[in-house]
Structure formats: C-alpha cells, structure tokens
Structure 1
Amino acid sequence: MGVVSVKKSVVLLSLGHACVDVYQGAVAALVPFFIAERAYSHAAVAGVVLAASLLSSVAQPLFGAVTDRRALPWLLPVSTIVGGVGIALSGVSGSYAVTLAFVAVSGIGVAAYHPESARVARIASRGSHTAMSWFSLGGNVGFALAPLLVTAVVATGGLRFTPLLVLPALAGSVLCLPVLRGLAASAANGSVAAQAKRPDDRGSFVKLSIAVVGRSITFVGLSTFIAVYAQERVGGGVLAGTIALFTLYVGGAVGTILGGRLANRWDRVTVVRYAYLVAVVAVAGVVFVPGPAFYLFVAATSAGLYVPFSLQVTLGQDYLPSRVGTASGITLGLTITIGGLASPLIGGLADATSLRVALAPLIAMPVLSWLMFRTLPEPAVMGADGSDGRQPAPDVGHRGAVAVGVDAPGQVGDGDARQRS
C-alpha cells in the first residue's frame, strides 16, 4: 500500500466501519426509549426504523453505481459525519416528523458510506476473505456497541442527551484519512497490473440478492423488537432487553470472523448454505423458547446470520465483476434496509396480536435464503498470478480498471491491488 501498510489499512477501515455502524445499531437501541419516553406504539417505532431504511435502501445502490464510474474516497469521512449527526439530533425534538427526518438523514449517510468503503476495503485487503471479514467485523462491533452506548447516554439524561452520540462519527471520520492518503499516493505512482475480464453472472446475483433480502428481514425484524420481546420472555426490564440486543450484535463478531476462516477451507457458497440452516433452528428458538435459554438462541441466531455477511459481499462483487460498486451497494444496502421496510408490517401485526405471533414468520426467511444458496455456484476467480483459484484476487472495476483517488473512469489507481472493492 505504500504509505500505509495493508494490515494497518484494514485495521483503520475496520475501526471506521465500527464508528459508522454504531448509527445503524443505534436506531434499534433507541426504540425502547422512544416507547418509554414518548409512548410510541410498536407501529410508530417501526416507522422510525423505516425512516432510517427507506431512503438508504434506494440511495445505497445508487451510490454504488456512481462509484463504479468515479472513485469518491472523500465519501468515507463525509458520510460518517452525516450518519452521526442524524442520530445525534434524533432526540432533540419531541416531534415525530422531525425525529423521522433526522433518522432518515442518518440513513443516507450510512448509505453513502458502505459501497465506497467496501471498494476501498477490498483494495486494501488485496481480495483476502479473512481481511474482508475483519473489515466487516468492524461494522458488527459498531452494531454490538450501539445498545451499550445508547443506554449509557440516554438512560442517564433522556433523549435530550442524544447529541453526545455524534462522538463516534467524529472519530471515524479521522480514522479513514491515513488510508485515503495511502491510496492516493499509490494511485500517483501509476503502477499497473493487467487483469483478465470475467463476464457478469446476473442470474446468480439475483439469487444472491433474494437470499440477502431473507437475511435482512430476519435480522432487522429481530433487532427492532428483540429488546422489547426479551422483557416478555425473560423479564428484567430494560436491562434484559439491552443484553438481548447486545448478544444479537456481538455474536456477529464471532460469526463474521468464523465465516472468513471457513471460506478459506471450503467455498463461500457451502459455508453460507450451512449457516442459514443453523439460523432457521436458532430463530425458532428465539421465538418459542422462554427463560434464560432464550439468550443462547439469540447468540446462535447472530452467528448463523453473520457467517454469511462478508461472504455475501464478496460473492456479489465476483458475480458482477464489472460493477462491483453496484454489487456492494445492493448487498450491503439490502442487508439492513429491506428489513427496515418490513419492520412496520411486523410492528402492526404485533399491535394487533402479540410480538410472538409477529416474529414467528421470521423463521421462514432463513429458509428462503438457504433455498437460494442451494443453486448458487461458487464463482471462479482469477488469481493475481493468472491462475484460477478459490482465493479471490482484486477485481476489475469500471471498464476493466480501478480508479482510486482519481476522477477519470477506467483509469487505473492503486498499484498494489487492482480492485473496485
């Protein structure tokens, strides 16, 4: 990488990813406080989650398509700040409309961050499954820390203290700067490595996207309501809910790293397929098993849903090697946002019946994802030495080349790893 080593770049990007994904996790973490302090209904808080997801679900693929044509590394610090400011201001007004607006702003910031960060991370990681899993781990850690951070801040002084939640965004915007300077320096060196073009496999990408939708609905549905549901199943008030949400998120750290390591031994498709089978059983346990065992099934659900996380991102990039920004935007965007679109339906059903009844359909979603992966092929990837191997080498970007820190579409940038994401 020149100015910044590969290992240091991945670490910095992972930490920055954590700072951004705090704000995705913070939306669900704020739900119990909106209910307690503002008497929001289940449908109303699902609307808050929807506000964070709706614009993001549209914007994230669009940002990915833009970065296929033009590298926009400055999006990393700017989008981090936007994501943080939106959540920080979400508690300052008692107006439901204003709250929705600020949460939506945060969602746009998060949407702008992920496609470009995935592109930069795969360049920095030189296509390693393990390195990409560490980058994804950062996001999982951010999710896991969100309920603890939100509870520490909001439980102390109420929703009026949410402006303090901007601090991770300030840190994250600074952490990515050395990596971006390193990429710019590598681009300035002008070193070029030729890469063979591979055709897009759009049919497989569609199946992958459907699988990601199933995962998204399951994960976001649970993360939105599990803090409240835990109080019903276990008792213990807000603390029980915070522990459940933290367990759902922190288990993803184990699942993400495990997924990267397993993919180095077996192919990604096989690993993800078995992970979804685990998720089917685990989600059923979350819905139906009461008492302390509830937390064990929450942890198993987290692992089962997070093993596929980074693997689905790189699979999407390899199915669409000419549009990896778009692929990253769709797979990363669908991971959260489509589930947010389904949350109001779950909330409305919960208001009409019970949370247990509303959450039961989520068991079918990992089944859908498993069915999609049953017919997916493991994409052949051209190695850096020209050989055909399972370990992915850096992909090609727009018109067969990568632009890192430069504006011209198709111009090659980073000399260490020619890859769009």
Structure 2
Amino acid sequence: MRRRTSITLLAAGHACVDVYQGAVAALVPLFVAERAYTYAAVSGVVLAASLLSSVAQPVFGALTDRWAMPWLLPVSTLIGGVGIAVSGLTGSYPLTLLFVALSGIGVAAYHPESARIAREASDGSHTAMAWFSTGGNIGFAVAPLLVAAITGLRWTPLLMVPALAGAAMALPVLQALTRRRNATIPKTGRDDISSFLRLTFAVIFRSIAFVGLSAFVSLYARQRQGGDPAAGTAALFLLYLGGVVGSLLGGSAASRWGRVTTSRWSYGVAVFAIAGVVWAPGPAFYLFVALTSIALYVPFSLQITLGQDYLPSRVGTASGVTLGLTVSVGGLASPVIGALADATSLQAALMPLVVMPALSLLIFQTLRDPAPIRAC
C-alpha cells in the first residue's frame, strides 16, 4: 500500500474516533435541555470522558512500546462508538458517566498505537503527520453537526455509524502492515526526558484551554445570542473546524521554520485569540473562536513528533502522552470551570483560560528542535 493511501485511511479512521471526543461536548446542551443538568453536572460528564482516558493513554502507550497491537485500531474505535451511542438511552446520571467513560477508554486505546503506525507509514514526514492529525480535527468538527442532526438523546445509537466506518477503514492498513513488519521506526538515539517532561506540561496547559472552551463555548455562545441553539452549534463547529486549518498550517510552517519556533508563535497568537473569545463583542466573537482553534492546533501534530523525537526508544509512550493528553487531560479542569460558572458567571469562569497558552509559550522558550527520527 502506498504511503498516501495509508495516511489517508489512518486520517479518516482518526476522524471517526475523534467524533466521539467532540460528541461529548456537543451533547452537553442536550443534557442541560433534556435532563436539566447544572454546569457542574455536565462538567462531570466531560470529566468522565477525560479522567480514565488521560490515565489510560500513557498505559496503552507503554504497552504498545513493548508489544505491537495494531488490532487496537478497529477494536478501540468500536468501543469509543458504543459508549457514546448508549449514553443517551439512560436517564441515570451514574450510568451516563459510565458509558461516556467507556467511550473515553476506547479513545485512549486508539491514539498511542495509531500515532505509532502513522509515524511509521509517514516515514517521519511533518506534512503526513499533519494530515493524520487533521483527520482527528475533522472528526471534532463534524461531531456537533452529527449531534445536531440526531435532534435528541434518544437517537444517540445512530452515532455508532462512524465507529463502524472507522473500524472497516483500519483493516486494509493493518493488512499492509503485516507485509511490512520490518519497516518499523528504529529505537535509536538517547531519550531527552527533561525536554519531554517540559513538553508534557505545555501539552497539558494547551489541553486545559481547548477542552475548557469546547465544553462551554456552545453554552456561552447561546447566552450571548439570546439562547439560540444554532449559535452554540456554530461556535462549536468553528472551534473544531479551525483545527483542520491549524494542523495543516503547522505541518507546512514547521517544514520551513522548525517545530519549536512555529509552536511559540502559535501560542502567542492563542493568548490574544482566547481573550477575544471571552471579551470581544458581537459577531467578532465567532472570528476569535476560529482564530483560537487555528492557533491551538498549529502545534498539535508538531508536539506529537517532538515527543517521539525526545523519547526515540519509547515512541508509544510519547504518542500516548502528547496525542492522548492533548485531548483528554483538559477535561480534568472542566469541573472547576463548571463550579466557578455556577458560582459566578460563565464569562468569569472562562477568563483563566487566557493564561493557559501563555504558560505553554513560556515552556516552549526552553525547548529545542531535535533531529527527527526516521523510519527504515
């Protein structure tokens, strides 16, 4: 199988999996409308999807460093879909948390192994890895549209369709891998644990900013537009769609200026953009939502390959942390944001998110761009 075909299928499968991460935030307004959940309660739903996922992803990464587990791609895709599909069928809050957590575990199992396989298939290309990452961003962007289309929680079983498609697309890639068993990324070079740990904190701060916004930007847009549900869907769609643009820009810019320099500039823009989301009046709000998404996603795929290059002997672990934590650990802060919103206002609760990319920027000032590892 040609490299382009493999990356295309992997990117499409990544989209199918990340639909379920985006669906959690997109379901929040339905939980509020149909079950009268408070901000704190819906924060708990986001936390359920994130808590086990954030813990499990490094574990799965360590396991894939020890044993190749390509079968995780279709299996974890199906698990991610099942959890979201059944989450709308029960009126029980604990069961809702359980099913959303199940989906989070499926997503956690998918990312480390898929990133390892994508790096192998891409031969270390920044552009190819950007396309792989873009697939996940497309999944995020499509999620609010899919949730809006089902019109109610009782129709969540229809959200199983992307999982079935994603599992099917993984199979030809896995068949091709069995014919390329010797084409793996060599575990050469020394691990730079100090740089990797600093990168991890930058990823965490970025995650808090993005996941915090994704959990509440829909409700915030509704508030600012007089309760119009379409305003919330539009804001969430822009937040996710901008990631498609950002990832592709990141891969292209890194090829010219390097990953660290590109990431520094993007985090600087993100500080300004999130401030605009919180305070900008009128339609400018949507412009800043899109700019925030682009700025936060420019370093997305770059952080994955940086982590892999900082830990060349543990590519799975590096992928589990940089790719997995990017989209899960931010959920751990969501209950704090929700509780603050209940106590004050949603605008006040979103204000601390402006600081997060500034912290990532400070960390990136201490990092260097290592020479990338290459596939054989």
TM-score (norm. length: structure 1): 0.88
Name the CA shift for 1:191/1:371 in 2 (closer, same or farther; >3 Å). closer
**How far did residue 264 of structure 1 move?**
0.7
Please tell me whether the aligned partners of residues 187 and 312 of structure 2 are also in contact (alpha carbons under 8 angstroms): no
1: CA distance, partners of 2:323 / 2:187: 26
Equivalence for 2:156: 162
- Can you list the C-alpha shifts for 1:243-292, whole angstroms capped at 9, x where unaligned? 00000000000000000000110110000000000000000000011210
Equivalence for 1:250: 241
Equivalence for 2:128: 131
- Can you list the C-alpha shifts for 1:86-132, whole angstroms capped at 9, x where unaligned? 00000000000010000000000000000000000011111100000
* 1:67 pairs with 2:61: no
Counterpart of 2:374 (choices 389, 393, 408) is 393
Q: Give matches, 1:79-118, under 5 Å.
A: 79-118=76-115
Name the CA shift for 1:192/1:344 in 2 (closer, same or farther; >3 Å). closer
Structure 2 residues without counterparts, runs of 5 or longer: none
What is the letter of the counterpart of residue 336 of structure 2?
L
**How far did residue 192 of structure 1 move?**
8.4
2: CA distance, partners of 1:32 / 1:147: 11
Please tell me whether the aligned partners of residues 10 and 131 of structure 1 are also in contact (alpha carbons under 8 angstroms): yes
Equivalence for 2:355: 364
* 1:312 pairs with 2:309: no
Please tell me whether the aligned partners of residues 120 and 184 of structure 2 are also in contact (alpha carbons under 8 angstroms): no
TM-score (norm. length: structure 2): 0.98
* 1:211 pairs with 2:202: yes
**How far did residue 236 of structure 1 move?**
5.5
Counterpart of 2:172 (choices 178, 181, 192) is 178
SS at match of 1:65: helix
2: CA distance, partners of 1:324 / 1:253: 24
Equivalence for 2:223: 232
**How far did residue 234 of structure 1 move?**
3.2
- Can you list the C-alpha shifts for 1:34-53, whole angstroms capped at 9, x where unaligned? 00000000000000000000
2: CA distance, partners of 1:207 / 1:103: 30
Say which one has the larger Rg: 1
**How far did residue 239 of structure 1 move?**
0.2
Equivalence for 1:6: 3
Residues paired across the two proteins, number: 376
Counterpart of 2:188 (choices 185, 197, 213) is 197
What is the letter of the counterpart of residue 56 of structure 2?
A
Q: As a proportion of its length, which structure holds more helix?
A: 2
2: CA distance, partners of 1:91 / 1:202: 42
**How far did residue 369 of structure 1 move?**
0.2
Name the CA shift for 1:253/1:196 in 2 (closer, same or farther; >3 Å). closer
2: CA distance, partners of 1:346 / 1:20: 26
Structure 1 residues without counterparts, runs of 5 or longer: 382-391, 395-417
Equivalence for 1:121: 118
Name the CA shift for 1:83/1:192 in 2 (closer, same or farther; >3 Å). closer
Name the CA shift for 1:200/1:294 in 2 (closer, same or farther; >3 Å). same
> Structure 1 vs Structure 2: percent identity of aligned residues?
67
Equivalence for 2:331: 340
**How far did residue 191 of structure 1 move?**
6.9
- Can you list the C-alpha shifts for 1:20-66, whole angstroms capped at 9, x where unaligned? 00000000000000000000000000000000000001100000000
